[in-house]
Amino acid sequence: MDGWPSLRGCLGGGEIAAHCRECCIKVCAANRPSVIRCSECEELPCYRITDMIDTGLLHRAEYMTNLGKIRAMGVEDWVEYEEERWRCLRCGLPMSWYDTECARCGEARSERLFPLT
């Protein structure tokens, strides 16, 4: 989990992207001291999450599935699962959200990942 410096959610004290600093989800979390991440919230799914999913970015379609897996597996096991899922099946190079093929060996995107269409 070297690539995941903070597994404590957006309030974990690590660096966050500029566009996340005023996020309504982060503000909601700040007002819920017993909730570290959305997967722990009883209101899930809430309008904040569904509104974010409905923006049209393909990777956001996985949010609810991922939050459910985090809830069931725990965040550390989920991170390990995702790190494996996002590796090229042939050479093991990590792939990004919108890679259609592996940058190292040219292997096509895995069926384990969300479809790009």
Q: Are 69 and 81 in contact (CB under 8 A)?
A: yes
Which whole number is the average pLDDT over 68-77?
Answer: 95
pLDDT at residue 2 tops 50 = no
Answer whether 0.85 is exceeded by the pTM. no
Which whole number is the average pLDDT over 17-42?
Answer: 86
C-alpha span between 99 and 84 (Å, rounded): 16
Give every CB contact of residue 109 below 8 A, 6+ residues apart in sequence.
Answer: 95, 99, 100, 101, 116
